[in-house]
């Protein structure tokens, strides 16, 4: 029996008919190394914590990727990507009564244990812990600017007070506040050029995020805002947007729920865009030109709008997959 060489090497009807050029299985493999295509590079200027495979809080070194786990089921959630945050209270391991200066923006207080924190000064509230680790008690509130007094009684461990509308991974402190730097994960240069097709292609991602504002899951861009092909969340919906300085195409494949995993696939070609979420019929846009990105950002775009969640897997195809294929992938 004879086979055409082109078919064997991935031509029509061959071993790679969809043109898969990037396959990152973060939750399964727990490494950055790609099964197919280039391996992304992750940078972070500080250490950072995550939940390890044993269900306990662990520390990752500078520039080390974090693969977060459910502390109860021990299931891996995928690659953890977070924005920069600062823990304002200290010592975090066993919190004591203290006064901290805060701004008039949303803050989130979190801790483990059954003790109580009474807030007074620029915000008034009483927060009572509901259990030891892994039960994390949280409160999101917006104070007025000034001095926030935290009066602590009982067991309050791994305490955190951070500016932000949702809780993030634990940032240990001792004698002062501490910063966890932003995670940046990217494919650039010749590696990007080899895996990305400017004329047509498709993304397929499984992710979750607690942040339902403007948060980018994956972005092919020029490290700016003028040449962008991205998947992102906004309010309570997911979206795919293509722009070359002006909006060229946008598809809104449906609403998402905070901290709930979703699958989303998007495809692009000149005047031919589509996206499907969780097996729904693909939403299309039949008008728009294509951008010319120079890099792939995973879990953010332009180094900002970080998703603050986990990516279980990411695949990229050099072909504009059919609407039916997008729907089947995400079902």
Alpha carbon of 97 to those of 100, 128, 131, 249: distances in Å? 10, 15, 20, 53
pLDDT digits 0-9 by tens, 69-96: 999 999 999 999 999 999 999 999 999 9
Residue 30 has pLDDT above 80, yes or no: yes
pLDDT digits (tens, 9 = 90+) for 259-307: 999 999 999 999 999 999 999 999 999 999 999 999 999 999 876 789 9
**Is residue 230 located within the same domain as residue 204?**
yes
* Same domain as 188, residue 141: no
pLDDT, average across residues 7-13 = 44
Percentage of the residues of the chain whose pLDDT score is greater than 70 = 96
pLDDT of 134 higher than 70: yes
Last residue in a domain, options 131, 154, 180:
180
**Is the bond leading into 91 cis (omega within 30 degrees of zero)?**
yes
Q: Are residues 273 and 215 in the same domain?
A: yes
User: In whole angstroms, what is the distance from residue 280 CA to residue 263 CA?
Assistant: 10
On whether both 208 and 70 belong to a single domain, the answer is no
Q: What is the CA radius of gyration of the chain?
A: 22
Question: Do 154 and 56 have their domain in common?
Answer: no
225/273 same-domain check: yes
The residue among 85, 169, 161, 82 whose CA lies nearest residue 134 is: 169
Which domain, by its residues, includes 64? Answer: 48-81
Both 208 and 164 in one domain: the answer is no
Q: Do 292 and 210 have their domain in common? A: yes
pLDDT digits 0-9 by tens, 211-249: 878 899 999 999 988 999 999 998 888 899 999 889 999
Quick one: 35 and 52 in the same domain?
Answer: no
Q: Does the pLDDT value for residue 10 go beyond 60?
A: no
Q: Take residue 76 and report the two structure tokens written for it.
A: 């891996």
Residues 104 and 195 both lie in one domain: no
Q: Are residues 176 and 187 in the same domain?
A: no
Specify if 10 maps to a domain: no
């Amino acid at each position: 029996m004879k086979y055409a060489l082109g078919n064997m090497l991935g031509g029509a009807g061959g071993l790679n008919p969809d043109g898969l050029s990037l396959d990152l299985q973060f939750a399964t493999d727990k490494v950055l190394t790609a099964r197919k295509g280039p391996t992304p590079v992750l940078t972070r200027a500080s250490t950072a914590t995550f939940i390890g495979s044993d269900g306990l809080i662990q520390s990752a070194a500078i520039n080390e990727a974090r693969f977060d786990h459910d502390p109860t089921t021990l299931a891996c959630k995928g690659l953890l990507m977070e924005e920069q945050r600062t823990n304002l209270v200290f010592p975090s391991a066993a919190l004591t009564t203290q006064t901290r200066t805060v701004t008039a923006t949303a803050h989130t207080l979190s801790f483990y244990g059954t003790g109580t924190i009474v807030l007074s000064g620029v915000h008034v509230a009483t927060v009572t812990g509901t259990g030891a680790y892994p039960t994390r008690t949280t409160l999101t509130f917006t104070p007025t600017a000034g001095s926030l007094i935290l009066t602590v009684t009982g067991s309050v461990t791994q305490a955190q007070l951070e500016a932000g509308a949702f809780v993030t991974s634990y940032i240990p402190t001792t004698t002062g506040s501490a910063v966890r730097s932003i995670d940046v994960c990217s494919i650039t240069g010749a590696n990007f050029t080899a895996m990305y097709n400017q004329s047509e292609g498709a993304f397929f991602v499984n992710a979750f995020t607690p942040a339902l504002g403007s948060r980018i899951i994956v972005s092919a861009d020029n490290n700016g805002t003028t040449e962008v092909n991205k998947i992102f969340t906004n309010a309570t919906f997911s979206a795919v947007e293509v722009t070359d300085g002006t909006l060229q195409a946008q598809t809104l494949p449906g609403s998402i729920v905070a901290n709930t995993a979703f699958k989303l696939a998007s495809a692009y070609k000149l005047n031919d865009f589509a996206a499907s979420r969780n097996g729904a019929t693909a939403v299309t846009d039949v008008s728009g030109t294509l951008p010319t990105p120079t890099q792939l950002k995973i879990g953010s775009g332009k180094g900002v709008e970080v998703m603050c969640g986990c990516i279980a897997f990411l695949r990229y195809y050099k072909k504009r997959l059919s609407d039916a294929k997008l729907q089947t992938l995400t079902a």
